[in-house]
Amino acid sequence: MGLPDHHMTEGERRIRSFHPHWKRLIGPFLALILIIAGSGAAIFFMPAFEYDSYARIAVAVVAVGLLTVWSFVPYLRWKNTSYVLTSHRFTISTGVLNKSIDDIPMAKVNTVSADQTLMERVLGCGTLVVESAGDHGRITLRDIPRIQDVRAEVFRALDDAIDGEPSEHGGR
């Protein structure tokens, strides 16, 4: 997921790979349920008239279009967004048709902070802010699952990068 093993450098080990938190799928899932229920009801309760078969087909076509835009595309975005933390870098991979991959070398990371709203604390996710001395400067990653564990693992990887030798903390 995100960073194939053959793209890792010699001595680099994967610490954690993950997608954004599942809460990003709540809206698309609700849209899926509402569109299916609404279009099913419209097709079922449509009164009989001369062109009712065409009207049912039109309702189905509109429903498929709405499902694609409001449910399928957001799911694909979520599925194709991945974060990989290795002993040498933090990789952010996004995109469905066009792929974008950002690498933050551990040696260039200055600060790492985590923010959580009350609801995010309940769900176990949050926003991770990574500031680096590189070109990107500050990267904000929203909806990171198990935010405190990820933050602790980033700090371990930073310590290992500063020390120059990765320790065995048990990767995932």
Predicted local confidence at residue 2, as pLDDT:
67
Tell me which H or E stretch contains 94. Answer: strand 89-94
Total H helices, total E strands in the chain = 5, 7
Determine the Cα–Cα distance for residues 156 and 151; give it in Å rounded to an integer: 9
Any residues with CB less than 8 A from the CB of 162 and at least 6 apart, and which? 107
**22-58 confidence digits (pLDDT tens):** 999 999 999 999 999 999 999 999 999 999 999 999 9
Residue 64 included in any domain: yes
Domain-embedded: residue 2: no
Q: Which residue has the higher pLDDT, 158 or 62?
A: 62
Give 73's contacts (C-beta < 8 A, 6+ positions apart).
Answer: 96
Total tally of structural domains belonging to the chain: 2
pLDDT for residue 115: 95
Same domain for 155 and 104, yes or no, is yes
DSSP 8-state symbol, 116: -
Higher pLDDT pick, 83 / 8: 83
Identify whether 1 is part of a domain.
Answer: no
111 membership: H or E segment, kind and range: strand 109-115
Q: What is the pLDDT of residue 172?
A: 43
Range of the domain at 59: 26-77
Residues 137 and 156 in one domain: yes
| 51 assigned to some structural domain | yes
Shared domain for 50 and 87, answered yes or no, is no
End-to-end CA gap in the chain? 12
Question: What pLDDT, on the 0 to 100 scale, is given for residue 1?
Answer: 60
Residues 126, 72 share a domain: no
pLDDT at 171: 45
- Is there a single domain that holds both residue 110 and residue 93? yes
pLDDT reported for residue 136: 65
pLDDT, average across residues 82-97: 91
Q: Mark whether 62 and 35 lie in a shared domain.
A: yes
Do 68 and 106 lie in one domain? The reply is no
Helices within 16-171 (DSSP H only):
26-44, 52-67, 73-79, 118-123, 147-163
31 shares a domain with 51: yes
DSSP secondary structure string for all residues of 9-51: PTT--EEEEEPSPGGGGHHHHHHHHHHHHHHHHHHHSPPP-TT
**The model's pTM:** 0.81
Residues 93 and 62 grouped into a single domain: no
Model confidence over 110-164: pLDDT tens digits?
Answer: 889 999 999 999 999 999 998 888 666 788 999 999 999 999 999 888 888 777 6
